[in-house]
Structure 1
Amino acid sequence: MTTSDKPALKPTATRAAAQRRVVATLSASQLLSGIGNGAGLAIGSLMAVELTGSNAFAGAATTAISVAGAVSALPLASLAVRKGRRIALSTGYFLAAIGAVLMMLAPVSQSFAVLMLGAALLGVGSAANLQARFAATDLADDATRGRDLGLVVWAITIGAVAGPNLIGPGSVLGEKIGLPPMSGPFLFSLAGMLLAILVLNIGLRPDPIVLARSFDETAGHVPTKPRVGRNRGSLIEGISAARQSPGATLGIATIVVAHLVMVGVMSMTPVHLKDLAATPGHAMHGGTSDILIVIGFTISLHIAGMYALSPVIGSLGDKIGLIRMMLGSQLVLVAAVLVSGIGANSQAAVTTGLVLLGLGWSMATVSGSAFLAGRVARERRVLVQGVSDTLMGVAGALGAAGSGLLLAWLGFAGLGYLCLIFIVIVTIFCIRELGTQRSRSAA
């Protein structure tokens, strides 16, 4: 960051006004970039099956997205520390735009390798989306941290829900210009990513990280600027900071387990619904176009569950306590896997379970992220957030990679029931932390 990048704070440039601008900009970029991620999640598993001819590879594209998200999260966090949020987020979305182009080309070339590379680059965009929620806390007050984070998470709803529902129009558009049906939706993905970059480069000037440091200096607090190594050095420093920050590991665990469960179950839902439709006597038997519409609609409802209530969840977490919201998220996740598992042969039950799964993920991610942001000193916060996103991506990759095999071995219901083990573990630690907080209050 050069000297010229440092903003000169004017009396009118209040922290609250700057925060409103940052939240609005991040929200707009989330909305646009969400289109690309929504389409990738909905079509990626179907592309993998079509190109390989085997359901065992159904989770391959989602795995690539998750692995790339995990691998790129910490480098993007380090880039944010060195160059600011604007550069880090724009870089992530630019690589995702290239990924959208490759996803378009995969059915054309009938290349599984091109599909995997495109999915991986889309995963970098997913990592940028995750970082954006933390960017909303750079200037946030403690009393509104959950709300501001929730607003940015919520903003992705329109784009993410629209993404799967653009499968139909995208397929038609693609065919008109000579592309295979599954390639067309990624035209919208490409446009969304490029527009997100434009919004960020207009709205995040000056950068929120630079502003936060300037406001701290104005208030008389001069934080130590973190020494940022590359790759392994940053990872070690981030993990060390998390371990030294009371409660940070619980926040990370809440986020990571919710993502593991969500990705594992969600990524296999399109395949499960397609198999249901192939069952003789099923209402959707024999209708390829109908099942694609149903899958797109189901994933859209799931994504709506993930994001639509985020501002409410954030505000409620600020009021009742983030740890209570984290505990509540685990209970909703339990309900999700039970509903979808018991009703595995019912499209309505699977859809309901998937909506609950999205809601539980939202509660865990918003409250866990806000909880984490409040437990780490500002000068080390971005790296810890990068570690959290890295572990989140690893969990998603494991969930996606293992879910295909588990679906084949245990079935859709068994896959969900297995997730209960991880949910119960986090629930126990949340209850323990809540008890500790009550003991401190009573003392």
Structure 2
Amino acid sequence: MLQKESVKVLDVRPALSQSYMDSSEKQKALYKRTLFVVSISQIFGGAGLAAGVTVGALLAQQMLGTNAFAGLPSALFTLGSAGAALFVGRLSQRFGRRTGLTAGFMIGGLGAIGVIIAAIINSIFLLFASLLVYGAGTATNLQARYAGTDLANPKQRATAISMTMVFTTFGAVAGPNLVNVMGNFALSIGVPSLAGPFILAAAAYILAGVVLFTMLRPDPLVIARMIESTNIKSRDHLATTEQTESKRGIVVGATIMVLTQIVMVAIMTMTPVHMRHHGHDLGSVGLVIGFHIGAMYLPSLVTGVLVDKLGRTVMAIASGVTLLFAGLLSAFAPGDSMVLLVIALSLLGLGWNFGLISGTALIVDSTKTSTRAKTQGKVDVLIALSGAAGGAMSGMIVAGSSYLTLSFIGGIFSLLLIPVVIWSRREK
């Protein structure tokens, strides 16, 4: 039985919706169109999220004059993304993906504008408040991966997730590598150079919202929910189409993503500060972070196929092992070695990619369309909060000890993924 909050969207344009319900060919066409539209929005969304990752810690360090709180920007925009994930999930549940994702990207764009203003007037309070709002773009960019799965069959869900994520690479890699360009542009218009990437972020997030608002029609979640509702009412299809919710699957999928998020955010956040301490310029920082973000998203097409073919469990274990190597290499690589830092951060991104796609596929497998968006929003809240904790603790660990200690702890912590997935298999 569908929840009341989802009924409102089921009555929108019934004739159009019915045409999709009656035609499997139209459903396939809508599935492909949805992947295309979401992929385009992900290009802009990727460019938007790269700003905070690349220069957020450096901006805070410059304004505060200390390293102890350099991880705070990452903590703030990931904390903001937690609230936004819940908001976008509930909005999508009630009105569809188009409304939820559009609102999230627009709010993220406003947050990026706030960061620019904070840098101009040198206001720490406004910076922190704006970073919270900016986090909405991060949450929305992440939740967009679910839109591609709404009309996907069970054997292609991970592939659908990966197809939307891979397009994030184009914007996410371009963003960090435009740090110097945007910094120079910012200086030319009287804005501090470190705020330059947030100019790009503001434009990118707003454009992503515009793309989704104008092109994501009809809404894939609305159509998928109507199809499920009709099939459940049909006695002939009840035995084959009704999907049950698996709480254990949701817990395991969420745990995989939470652990990978903590490790990835903690090490990634302090890498720019670590590099600056060893004499690397802003362009080098952008290059390393560009490789890192590229590794987070570019392997997605292959990862999705592997998750669908080899299984969620195998790829979750691969995530833990990859993150272990990333942490150890980050810990023991010489600070002045660009090559080793690029490899370490690329492995960090790849391990996160394995964990996110396998965990996301588990969440989709374990939910019903009638409650899926709200559940996905709740899970992404946990992911965002874990990222906030990782970002906040990273600066304190480095200030109290070293980057080596942070990376080593992160690598060892990632091994917790293995007992989690072993437990999930034993319970079956």
Q: CA RMSD in A?
A: 1.9
Contact 2:263 2:410 in 1 (8 A): yes
Select 1:307's aligned residue among 294, 297, 300. Answer: 297
1:13–1:113 distance in 2 versus 1, CA, 3 Å: farther
CA positional deviation for 1:178: 2.3
Give the ranges of 4+ consecutive aligned residues of structure 1 lying more than 3 Å apart after TM superposition: 10-13, 217-222, 432-437
d(CA) in 1 for partners of 2:195, 2:416: 41
- Determine if the alignment matches structure 1 residue 349 to structure 2 residue 361: no
Partner of 2:254: 252
d(CA) in 1 for partners of 2:95, 2:308: 31
TM-score (norm 1): 0.88
d(CA) in 1 for partners of 2:24, 2:263: 46
CA positional deviation for 1:185: 2.4
d(CA) in 2 for partners of 1:276, 1:435: 47
d(CA) in 2 for partners of 1:367, 1:192: 28
Partner of 1:238: none
Select 1:297's aligned residue among 277, 287, 290. Answer: 287
Partner of 1:371: 362
Letter matched to residue 286 of structure 2: G
d(CA) in 1 for partners of 2:410, 2:84: 26
Contact 1:33 1:156 in 2 (8 A): yes
Listed as ranges, the matches of 1:140-179 within 5 Å are 140-179=152-191
Deviations 1:8-59 (A, max 9, x none): 3253762211111111111111111211110121111110011011111211
1:106–1:9 distance in 2 versus 1, CA, 3 Å: same
CA positional deviation for 1:409: 1.9
SS in 1 for 2:247: coil
Partner of 1:262: 264
d(CA) in 1 for partners of 2:107, 2:229: 35
Listed as ranges, the matches of 1:139-218 within 5 Å are 139-218=151-230
Partner of 1:440: none
1:13–1:194 distance in 2 versus 1, CA, 3 Å: farther
Letter matched to residue 199 of structure 1: V
d(CA) in 2 for partners of 1:433, 1:8: 39
- Determine if the alignment matches structure 1 residue 433 to structure 2 residue 419: no
Partner of 2:81: 69
Contact 1:273 1:347 in 2 (8 A): no
d(CA) in 1 for partners of 2:257, 2:273: 25
Letter matched to residue 317 of structure 1: V
d(CA) in 2 for partners of 1:330, 1:112: 37
d(CA) in 1 for partners of 2:97, 2:103: 10
Listed as ranges, the matches of 1:27-426 within 5 Å are 27-221=39-233, 245-277=247-279, 284=280, 291-345=281-335, 346-426=337-417
Structure 2: give runs of 5+ residues left out of the alignment: 1-7, 235-243
Contact 1:167 1:185 in 2 (8 A): yes
Contact 1:344 1:413 in 2 (8 A): no
d(CA) in 1 for partners of 2:200, 2:33: 26
CA positional deviation for 1:177: 2.2
CA positional deviation for 1:221: 4.8
SS in 1 for 2:18: coil
d(CA) in 2 for partners of 1:199, 1:112: 33
d(CA) in 2 for partners of 1:221, 1:176: 63
Contact 1:58 1:404 in 2 (8 A): yes
Deviations 1:66-122 (A, max 9, x none): 100112211211111111111111111111111111121122101112211221111
Deviations 1:130-160 (A, max 9, x none): 2111122111110100000011111111111
d(CA) in 1 for partners of 2:57, 2:28: 43
Contact 1:255 1:365 in 2 (8 A): yes
d(CA) in 2 for partners of 1:314, 1:362: 10
CA positional deviation for 1:260: 0.4
Partner of 1:9: 19
TM-score (norm 2): 0.91
Number of aligned positions between the proteins: 407
d(CA) in 2 for partners of 1:344, 1:134: 39
d(CA) in 2 for partners of 1:412, 1:421: 14
d(CA) in 2 for partners of 1:254, 1:217: 31
Query: Kindly, what percent of the aligned residue pairs are identical?
Result: 33
Partner of 1:236: none
Structure 1: give runs of 5+ residues left out of the alignment: 223-240, 278-283, 285-290, 438-443
